[in-house]
Amino acid sequence: MTDLLSKFDPLIAEREALLDTGVRDPFGIVMDQVLSPTEAIIKGKKTILLGTYNYMGMTFDPDVVAAGKRALDEFGSGTTGSRVLNGTYQGHRECEEALKEFYGMDHAIVFSTGYQANLGMISTLAGKGEYIILDADSHASIYDGCWLGNAEIVRFRHNSVEDLDKRLGRLPAEPGKLVVLEGVYSMFGDIAPLPEMVAVAKKHGAMILCDEAHGMGFFGPNGRGVYEELGCENDIDFVVGTFSKSVGTVGGFCVSNHPKFEVLRLVCRPYVFTASLPPSVVATAAASIRKLMYAGEKRAHLWKNSRRLHQGLRDLGFTLGTETAQSAIIALMLPDMETTVRMWQALLELGLYVNMARPPATPAGTFLLRCSLCAEHSDDQVGEILGMFEQAGRAVGCIGR
Amino acid sequence: MSTRDEIFNRVAAQIEPFNKKKAALGDATSFAKDLEWDSLTVMDFVAAIEDEFDIIITMNMQAEIETVGQLVDAVAKLQG
């Protein structure tokens, strides 16, 4: 008998070799207590969280938590059903209303996760004989949406307008085309040149889906995302997003002005064939989204934090994924696995949690330590964070003494 | 030189910068096994081939192409 798991032996061996060197498992962290959006207790140590995507710090907002408790009491712990059967409660509708208002769009569909939102939208929009054109650095949920559907899949080089134009130009004119973009690319924290890409997509008659998972809450005058900030509000056909970042809970969605949008509720398999979100989750999401409409001060503080951390890390001599702070993600580029894990562990022991990322999740075979800032990080915390990077970087030898 | 030979030579020229192992190239040379390319190298290489021949090799097609010979045949077909 062939052991079906034997194909993972190389990965098991690599992991064992790494852990045998005595380092802690970067993918096995447990938060024993969570004190606030920016602090947790890990193995008895109070730790600043700098890798949570909790951009707007809504997870402990008193209004948000209260809305969740109320819904838990009034509607119970779960819906036990699909959105199209018994799983749409008044709270799901209210959450969709909140999204429509937040985005100023006619339609909103809530999915059970952000992953499923991409899986559902992409696999359903482009059918057999049609084309999906995606950025090579797209998130796994976008790729998986492509594999779930039957469309022809074409990739273009990351953020290259010229490459997108060339590839669209080589496709037959007649079939439907969906260009899939992301406002912020989460590995390096760089943003897409949306106006130029939109112009090219329109020129070739393609519809556009933009994933604003890492842009919602703090890009644009209304916090709608990079597409709003860059003035593409009338050009994006479908905006996909998540509740698990700025909104501070879990869930995914798509908003659109397309007049036939509602039909997707009937034909989108990742929407139909899964249970809907628990009432407490949609209630927290709706409360959070409504508060995010008026979160101008928080937005300003988040941008201040991002710019300060980016500049501070550069001044210390670290190599970063972007020239300037383009988003709330700041990626440190490190030379190899060993240095990356040692740096990650040194930071954790000082009391700072960041994300580690390695190939194949990262582009171009790079090793990264990724920081994501929160609007609730205080000025003092950002100062502490920079101090810890300096100490860890010198101890590990990533920066000069 | 036949059209297929010409395509083979142009494909081989595109493989060259990615052929770190200096593996000998023939129709049966496998991208994964002989050239030992990872997914990132494959992506860069496919983009180079697409630009060289002004064609699109969709990811669906790429899944079916394992050897240099299969790629040469696919390019010939796509060029019509």
Task: Return the pLDDT at B1.
Answer: 62
Task: Return the pLDDT at A362.
Answer: 82
User: Do B40 and A155 make contact, defined as CB atoms within 8 angstroms?
Assistant: no
Is B47 in the A-facing interface, judged by CB distances under 8 Å? yes
Alpha carbons A375 and A295: distance in angstroms, whole number = 10
For A126, other C-beta atoms within 10 Å of its C-beta total 26
- Token readout for A299 is 């937005």
Instruction: List the single best residue of A134, A138, A142, A154 to mutate versus B (max B Cβ within 10 A).
Output: A154
User: Any residues with CB less than 8 A from the CB of A332 and at least 6 apart, and which?
Assistant: A313, A318, A319, A320, A321, A343, A368, A369, A370, A371
Answer whether A265's CB lies under 8 Å from A109's CB. yes
Which residue in B43, B50, B55 is closest to A136 by CB distance?
B43
Which residue in A155, A170, A363 is closest to B59 by CB distance?
A155
- Residues of A (121-140) whose Cβ lies below 8 Å from B: 131, 136
- Token readout for A302 is 């988040």
Task: Return the pLDDT at A361.
Answer: 76
Give yes or no for residue A364 having a pLDDT over 80.
Answer: no
Which residue in A153, A157, A365 is closest to B58 by CB distance?
A153
Tell me which residues of chain B have a pLDDT lower than 70: 1
Answer whether A218's CB lies under 8 Å from A294's CB. no
Give yes or no for residue A306 having a pLDDT over 90.
Answer: yes
- Token readout for A18 is 């790494």
pLDDT tens digits for A162-217? 999 999 999 999 999 999 999 999 999 999 999 999 999 999 999 999 999 999 99
User: Do B50 and A157 make contact, defined as CB atoms within 8 angstroms?
Assistant: no
Task: Return the pLDDT at A401.
Answer: 64
Size of interface A-B (CB pairs under 8 A): 34
User: Do B59 and A154 make contact, defined as CB atoms within 8 angstroms?
Assistant: yes
Task: Return the pLDDT at B2.
Answer: 75
Instruction: List the single best residue of A165, A170, A362 to mutate versus B (max B Cβ within 10 A).
Output: A170
Among chain A residues, the shortest Cα distance to B44 is held by A157
Q: What is the mean pLDDT of chain A?
A: 96
pLDDT tens digits for A321-360? 999 999 999 999 999 988 999 999 999 999 999 999 988 7
Report the pLDDT averaged over residues A251-256: 98
Residues on chain A touching B58 (C-beta within 8 angstroms): 131, 152-154
Give yes or no for residue A49 having a pLDDT over 90.
Answer: yes
% of chain A with per-residue pLDDT over 70: 100
Is A166 in the B-facing interface, judged by CB distances under 8 Å? yes
Task: Return the pLDDT at A26.
Answer: 83
Is B43 in the A-facing interface, judged by CB distances under 8 Å? yes
Residues on chain A touching B54 (C-beta within 8 angstroms): 170
User: Do B60 and A153 make contact, defined as CB atoms within 8 angstroms?
Assistant: yes
Task: Return the pLDDT at A400.
Answer: 78
Is A176 in the B-facing interface, judged by CB distances under 8 Å? no
Residues on chain A touching B38 (C-beta within 8 angstroms): 359-360, 365
Examine residue B17 and say whether the peptide bond preceding it is cis (omega within 30 degrees of 0). no
For A70, what's the count of Cα atoms within 13 Å in the CB-facing half-sphere? Answer: 12
Residues on chain B touching A146 (C-beta within 8 angstroms): 59
- Token readout for A247 is 């909104």
pLDDT tens digits for A212-234? 999 999 999 999 999 999 999 99
Which residue in A152, A167, A365 is closest to B40 by CB distance?
A365
Report the pLDDT averaged over residues A18-39: 92
Is A100 in the B-facing interface, judged by CB distances under 8 Å? no
Q: How confident is the model at residue A363 (pLDDT cuts 50, 70, 90)?
A: confident
User: Do A153 and B59 make contact, defined as CB atoms within 8 angstroms?
Assistant: yes
Token pair 């074409």 in the structure block, residue? A154
Complete edge-to-edge strand list for the sheet that includes strand A39-42: A33-36, A39-42, A45-49, A352-353
Closest to A167 measured CA to CA, from B62, B22, B56, B3: B56
% of chain A with per-residue pLDDT over 90: 92
Degrees (nearest 5) of the Cα angle A369, A362, A374?
45
How close, in Å, is residue B48 to chain A by CA atoms? 11
Q: How confident is the model at residue A23 (pLDDT cuts 50, 70, 90)?
A: confident
User: Do B54 and A170 make contact, defined as CB atoms within 8 angstroms?
Assistant: yes
pLDDT tens digits for A50-103? 999 999 999 999 999 999 999 999 999 999 999 999 999 999 999 999 999 999
Residues on chain A touching B46 (C-beta within 8 angstroms): 155
Report the pLDDT averaged over residues A154-163: 96
Q: How confident is the model at residue A156 (pLDDT cuts 50, 70, 90)?
A: very high
Residues on chain A touching B60 (C-beta within 8 angstroms): 152-153
Q: How confident is the model at residue A154 (pLDDT cuts 50, 70, 90)?
A: very high
How close, in Å, is residue B60 to chain A by CA atoms? 6
Task: Return the pLDDT at A245.
Answer: 98
Report the pLDDT averaged over residues A126-150: 97
Report the pLDDT averaged over residues A279-295: 97
